[in-house]
Each structure stands twice: as structure tokens, then as C-alpha cells.
Structure 1
Amino acid sequence: MTITAVQIPAIVALFAGVLILIMPRFLSFIVAIYLILVGLHGLGLFRSLHM
């Protein structure tokens, strides 16, 4: 399976959702990381990784 830049937000969201279900007290931490990653992706900073 090849992971493309389009799939990264979906994978991060899935991972964050599972972590929130397992450890709800880390909700704000997980949301903050998710928002940072989505912001970086939106700015195109992951293009250099050639995913």
C-alpha cells in the first residue's frame, strides 16, 4: 500500500480517534497535535517527504 499526501489527514484522524477512545484524558494533547499536522500539511511542508 502506497501512502499519498492526500491520505495523511485521514490516517492522522484515525490514529487520533483511536487514542482518544483509549485514553480520553489526552484529548487536548491529541487534538493539538492533529491541528498542527493538518496545518503543516495545508502549508505544503510534507511535500518534501515525497509521500
Structure 2
Amino acid sequence: MTMVTSAGPLISLIAGILILIMPRLLNYIVAIYLIVIGLLGLFGGHLR
């Protein structure tokens, strides 16, 4: 049986566990997420 998982839910699960362990980590996770989404929005179509 082959299990295929996507990265989104796995990253969310890991981030949620880390936030429960260290609540201050939430600031960094949100900041990194916003930066990555912003960069993908600006340059996503131009990287190919």
C-alpha cells in the first residue's frame, strides 16, 4: 500500500506541535510564512 502525503498538512502538524511546546515560536513561524508567501507571489511565475 502506497501512502502519498502532501507537504502542507505535514508542515502544519509539525508547526502546531512546536507552537504548543514553545509558544514564542509562533511569531517566527508566522513571519517566515508571510515572507515565503510574499516571495512566491512576487517571483513565483518568473522562476521558470
TM-score by length of 2: 0.54
RMSD: 2.3
Q: Which has the higher helix share?
A: 2
Alpha carbons of structure 1 residues 34 and 12: separation in structure 2 relative to 1, 3 Å: farther
User: Residue 22 of structure 1 corresponds to which residue in structure 2?
Assistant: 21
Identify the structure with bigger relative contact order (alpha carbons < 8 Å, sequence gap 6+): 1
Q: Is there any run of 5+ residues in structure 2 with no aligned partner, and where?
A: none
Separation in 1, partners of 2:30, 2:4 = 22
Percent identity over the alignment? 51
What per-residue deviation string (whole Å, max 9, x for no partner) do you get for residues 1-51 of structure 1?
6555xx101111001000000000111101223442xx35xx4xxxxxxxx
Alpha carbons of structure 1 residues 34 and 14: separation in structure 2 relative to 1, 3 Å: farther
Matched positions, count: 37
TM-score by length of 1: 0.51
Greater gyration radius = 2
